[in-house]
Amino acid sequence: MSEKKVWFITGAGRGLGVDIAKAALVAGHAVVATARNAESVTEALGEHDDLLSVDLDVTDPAAAAPAVNATVERFGRLDVLVNNAGSFQAGFFEEMAPENFRSQIETTLFGPVNVTRAALPQLRAQRSGLVMTISSTAGIAADGDFLTAYAASKFGVEGFMEGLAPEVAPFGIRTMLVEPGFFRTELLTPQSTQYAEPSIEDYAERTTTTVAAWKGMDGKQGGDPAKLAGALVRLAGVEEPPARFAAGADAVTTFEQKAGELLAQADAHRGLSTSLAHDDA
């Protein structure tokens, strides 16, 4: 095993967070597994000398600092923060209630913002640490119906991490974004996905087919979260963790398609794009 590290994982009572906690424990690390209900952690992971479960709703800006304090009290430090907690507000933009759109941003953009803000003073004091944030392929490309709120939050977290990286690099702190494709977790179950209430006839037919398609995917996603968790533990241990990790063959395709699209878009109006400076510039 490489050096023993202290992991802090959000949303670790079910889904991918449980697999990451298990993989980190198996690799010999200490784990602070946080969840809205810490009992769900104990149900999923049992008791372990190197495991501390802590209540943490990532949307509560005041809740993260006590959880970080509990981590340092128990294990003396914090090495790898995993911003994992997530949910899916699904629906056509015009049909999604504003409060549901906002709740997506609260969970998957402000959640990582809240927890990272609380963790950074400890990481900075140590002059080391890794902030790993589980984004999505929807943070690279918003390709398909029902994705506006989710992709807005995931694109947001991409910008947050990319912008944070140079600010904290001088303190030995690194950031890593993970963009999973489809993984077989509980994300598409009613516990995690909320569908917008249909209200506009123009969308009715597409709503029926899109809801059926998303529901049909639940439990059949190709990605194995245990394998992803193992990969993340491995990458957290390398000298230079990647700034982005395309998780799954489908994610690699999304990266390649988006890169190609951006290059084509940069080129499409190159003359006009490059003609916008002041004459004296």
Ligand X SMILES: NC(=O)c1ccc[n+]([C@@H]2O[C@H](COP(=O)([O-])OP(=O)(O)OC[C@H]3O[C@@H](n4cnc5c(N)ncnc54)[C@H](OP(=O)(O)O)[C@@H]3O)[C@@H](O)[C@H]2O)c1
Pick one of 107, 114, 122, 148: the residue that binds ligand X (CB under 6 A). Answer: 107
Supply the DSSP string of 129-178, one letter for each residue: EEEEEE--GGGT---STT-HHHHHHHHHHHHHHHHHHHHHGGGTEEEEEE
Q: Is 57 in the site for ligand X (CB under 6 A)?
A: yes
Q: Is 13 in the site for ligand X (CB under 6 A)?
A: yes
Task: Work out the burial of residue 142: count CB atoms within 10 Å of its CB; fewer than 13 is exposed, 13-18 middle, 19 or more buried.
Answer: middle
Q: Is 84 in the site for ligand X (CB under 6 A)?
A: yes
Pick one of 52, 180, 230, 232: the residue that binds ligand X (CB under 6 A). Answer: 180
Only one of the segments 50-58, 70-78, 92-100, 253-261 lies at the binding site for ligand X (rule: CB under 6 A); that segment is 50-58
Q: Is 40 in the site for ligand X (CB under 6 A)?
A: yes
Pick one of 36, 74, 117, 227: the residue that binds ligand X (CB under 6 A). Answer: 36
Residue with smaller CB distance to ligand X, 124 or 258: 258
Q: Is 40 in the active site?
A: no
User: How many angstroms separate the CA atoms of 103 and 108, rounded?
Assistant: 9
Size of residue set near ligand X by CB under 6 A: 31
Cβ distance 21 to 234 under 8 Å?
A: no
Q: Is 136 in the site for ligand X (CB under 6 A)?
A: yes
CB crowding 120-136: b at 16 or more within 10 Å, else e: bebbeebeebbbbbbbb
Structure tokens at 122: 């400890």
Residue with tokens 């030995």: 172
Only one of the segments 158-166, 181-189, 200-208, 235-243 lies at the binding site for ligand X (rule: CB under 6 A); that segment is 181-189
Three-state SS sequence of 221-261: CCECHHHHHHHHHHHHCCCCCCCEEEECHHHHHHHHHHHHH
**Which residue type does 100 have?**
N
Task: Name the active-site residue from 5, 22, 53, 150.
Answer: 150
Q: Is 11 in the site for ligand X (CB under 6 A)?
A: yes
Q: Is 15 in the site for ligand X (CB under 6 A)?
A: yes
Residue with smaller CB distance to ligand X, 164 or 203: 164
Pick one of 41, 58, 109, 176: the residue that binds ligand X (CB under 6 A). Answer: 58
Instruction: Please state the length of the chain.
Output: 281
Q: Please state whether 232 falls in left (phi above 0), alpha (psi between -120 and 50) or beta.
A: alpha
Q: Is 53 in the site for ligand X (CB under 6 A)?
A: no
Residue with smaller CB distance to ligand X, 123 or 147: 147
Residue with smaller CB distance to ligand X, 6 or 188: 188
Q: Is 5 in the site for ligand X (CB under 6 A)?
A: no
User: How many angstroms separate the CA atoms of 217 and 60, rounded?
Assistant: 31
Binding site for ligand X (CB under 6 A): 10-11, 13-17, 35-36, 40, 56-59, 84-87, 107-108, 134, 136, 180, 182-183, 185-187, 191-192, 221
- Give catalytic residue positions: 135, 150, 154
